[in-house]
Chain A
Amino acid sequence: MIALLDRLGVWALNYLSRLGRATSMWFTSVAHIPHGQDMHLVLNQLHHVGVRSVLIIVLSAFSIGAVIALQFHTQLSRFGAEDAVGLGLTLTLLRELGPVVTGLLFAGRAGSAITAEIGLMKTTEQLSSMEMMGVDPLYRIVAPRLWAGIISMPLLTIIFNVVGIFGGFIVAVQWLGSDPGGFWSGMQAGVELWNDIGKGLLKSLLFALVITWIAVFQGYDTEPTAEGVGLATTRTVVLSSVVVLAMDFFLTLIMYGDF
């Protein structure tokens, strides 16, 4: 019993210690707003985590938009309400699927890459050598990746939403023959700027903060071995995905809940 309590205590202390290090790292890095010669590092990371994620976002958004439109059309056409497909699809994408699926894809594509890259830099002593040169890796390595993630994820979410709606339009209007006027006007009448678009983008911004935080910390805190980097990369994807889904529930409750 004492041994069990002992192990529990050690685990709790280790957990709190990691949380403390992660929080300290996040604040130190985010407080360093890149400027001057660091701006090209952010632009470089925007290319790596943002631009290189566009293809997977576009492909996923198109197929998800198409599938949702197909499902909506199949169900709504039984009641002669095909015109509502556009609105239903758009609200689903703007409020939920846009930020959540983009977050999950971002964690899998960019989050894992960030963790693996930083972890490998640690394993090959690049972070240590940077420190020894009087250059803080939190400013040179971590901050640009954090800022790139925070900037790029809402933009990727916008791309996801636009392509998803386009995918739905192709299926509902071009293929299944819904009225294009009904498709667009339902959307125009039903979508609110802040309540639907704004809150969806706010969600994606919060997901970006958490995913990039998890990704950079897992890389920075990894065991400097091949196995350690592999485990850290896996942890980034699993932890980010779970946290995004859990956060989404609570954010939806707060933003749209009717108490």
Chain B
Amino acid sequence: MIEIKGLSFKRDSRFIFQNLEMTVAQGKITAILGPSGSGKTTLLRMIGGQLKPQYGFLKYKGKDIASMSRSELFGFRKNLGMLFQSSALFTDLNVFENVAFPLRRHTNLSRQAIRDLVLMKLNAVGLRGAASLEPSQLSGGMARRVALARAIALDPHLLLYDEPFTGQDPISMGILISLIKSLSGTLNATSLIVSHDVMETLTIADYVYVIFDGSVIGEGTPREILDSSSPKVQQFINGTRNGPVPFHLDAEDLEKQLMVVEKN
């Protein structure tokens, strides 16, 4: 469904991605794992057409996203639901209106039908009772679930999740994991999760890519990733400090930097 070929993207002079190759299969949950700052969110923004790659292409159902016209792009996004890391709920609308927003903008449904749909979506995430609350009255986990209800309001074909498990308590995390899994099955949607929460992601993903330093360092089913012989992949999934992935950025020797004696 999504095909990424030879994709390169750089900011200033630094390459975020170099010659990236990926395929996101129809109806499956694909996960992209990688450390913070590895460009995972940037990749989601490129899939959503908010950023354009300098080289290579991203195709959705055979159509290059970067070469879509503005109206084509907004049409494509009607089939897309994205869960933002910050939830990104509209602060001038209450919970009900946040979920109703895409329905009101993109459908001609009656008020009653929109009301019923919104309540069903909120029910699916367990927050029907929060319909009249303002976003400022929600906890982080509740806000994430409301954002999820909004993302699935139009039953999209493609669901993008940006760090869905970050900052969640164990109960919220468990609920989110089961929701993502069940929604993918119910909607038969293609799901793409970017995350650095390894174990939670591996429990629901059908296929996993591990990226580091702008390119794919490992891919396969969750089992294959866990059994990977790549030292970089093993260091990332086990969270070990020592290994080929450096913890420290390049810098001058610590002793030399600390033991400086001012010369008069």
Interface check B80, CB cutoff 8 A:
yes
Q: A136 to B71: give the CA distance in the assembly, Å.
A: 10
Interface check A179, CB cutoff 8 A:
no
Question: In the complex the two chains form, is B84's CB within 8 Å of A129's CB?
Answer: yes
Determine how close the nearest CB of chain A comes to the CB of B134; give it in whole angstroms: 14
Known: A131-B50, A133-B77, A134-B77. A37 touches B88 (CB 8 A): no
What residue of chain A has the Cβ atom nearest to residue B160's Cβ? A132
Complex interface: chain B residues within 8 A of A121 (CB):
91
Interface check B74, CB cutoff 8 A:
yes
What residue of chain A has the Cβ atom nearest to residue B105's Cβ? A135
The contact of A132 among B77, B86, B90, B106, by CB within 8 Å, is B77
The contact of B88 among A125, A134, A135, by CB within 8 Å, is A125
Determine how close the nearest CB of chain B comes to the CB of A170; give it in whole angstroms: 40
Interface check B78, CB cutoff 8 A:
yes
Task: Tell me if B's interface is mostly helix, strand, loop or mixed.
Answer: mixed
What residue of chain A has the Cβ atom nearest to residue B86's Cβ? A125
Interface check B82, CB cutoff 8 A:
yes
Known: A124-B88, A126-B90. A132 touches B105 (CB 8 A): no
What residue of chain B has the Cβ atom nearest to residue A129's Cβ? B88
Known: A37-B104, A133-B101, A135-B105. A124 touches B86 (CB 8 A): yes
Question: In the complex the two chains form, is B91's CB within 8 Å of A126's CB?
Answer: yes
Interface check B102, CB cutoff 8 A:
yes
Determine how close the nearest CB of chain A comes to the CB of B66; give it in whole angstroms: 15
Interface check A188, CB cutoff 8 A:
no
Q: A135 to B90: give the CA distance in the assembly, Å.
A: 13
Q: A37 to B76: give the CA distance in the assembly, Å.
A: 22
The interface size of chain B toward A, counting residues with CB under 8 Å, comes to 24
Complex interface: chain A residues within 8 A of B78 (CB):
133-134
Q: A129 to B80: give the CA distance in the assembly, Å.
A: 11
Interface check B75, CB cutoff 8 A:
yes
For window 89-139 of A, CB contacts with B under 8 Å fall at: 121, 124-126, 128-136
Determine how close the nearest CB of chain A comes to the CB of B13; give it in whole angstroms: 14
Complex interface: chain B residues within 8 A of A135 (CB):
74, 101-102, 105
Complex interface: chain B residues within 8 A of A129 (CB):
82, 84, 88, 90, 147
B36-53 interface code vs A (CB 8 A; 1 in, 0 out): 000000000100101000
| Among B77, B80, B147: residue with most chain A CB under 10 A | B77
What residue of chain B has the Cβ atom nearest to residue A131's Cβ? B50
What residue of chain A has the Cβ atom nearest to residue B70's Cβ? A136
Q: A126 to B102: give the CA distance in the assembly, Å.
A: 13
For window 205-219 of A, CB contacts with B under 8 Å fall at: none
Known: A37-B104, A124-B91, A125-B88. A132 touches B75 (CB 8 A): no
Determine how close the nearest CB of chain B comes to the CB of A32; give it in whole angstroms: 13
What residue of chain B has the Cβ atom nearest to residue A133's Cβ? B102
The contact of B106 among A125, A128, A131, A134, by CB within 8 Å, is A134
The contact of A128 among B76, B88, B91, by CB within 8 Å, is B88
What residue of chain B has the Cβ atom nearest to residue A120's Cβ? B91
What residue of chain A has the Cβ atom nearest to residue B93's Cβ? A126
Complex interface: chain B residues within 8 A of A130 (CB):
90
Question: In the complex the two chains form, is A128's CB within 8 Å of B50's CB?
Answer: yes
Complex interface: chain A residues within 8 A of B89 (CB):
126
Q: A55 to B106: give the CA distance in the assembly, Å.
A: 39
Complex interface: chain A residues within 8 A of B84 (CB):
125, 128-129
A to B CB contacts below 8 Å, 5 in the list: A126-B88, A132-B160, A133-B77, A133-B82, A133-B105
B binding-site residues for A, Cβ under 8 Å: 45, 48, 50, 74-78, 80, 82, 84-86, 88-91, 101-102, 104-106, 147, 160
The 5 closest A-B pairs by CB, nearest first: A134-B77, A129-B88, A125-B88, A134-B78, A132-B82
> 5 new A-B pairs (CB below 8 Å) besides A129-B84, A134-B76, A135-B74?
A125-B84, A128-B45, A131-B50, A133-B105, A140-B105
